[in-house]
Chain A
Amino acid sequence: EDKVVQSPLSLVVHEGDTVTLNCSYEVTNFRSLLWYKQEKKAPTFLFMLTSSGIEKKSGRLSSILDKKELFSILNITATQTGDSAVYLCAVVSIEGGSEKLVFGKGTKLTVNP
Chain B
Amino acid sequence: EVQLLESGGGLVQPGGSLRLSCVASGFTLSSYVMSWVRQAPGKGLEWVSEISGSGGSTRYADSVKGRFTTSRDNSKNTVYLQMNSLRAEDTAVYYCARKFSGGDGWFDPWGQGTLVTVSS
A pairs with B: no
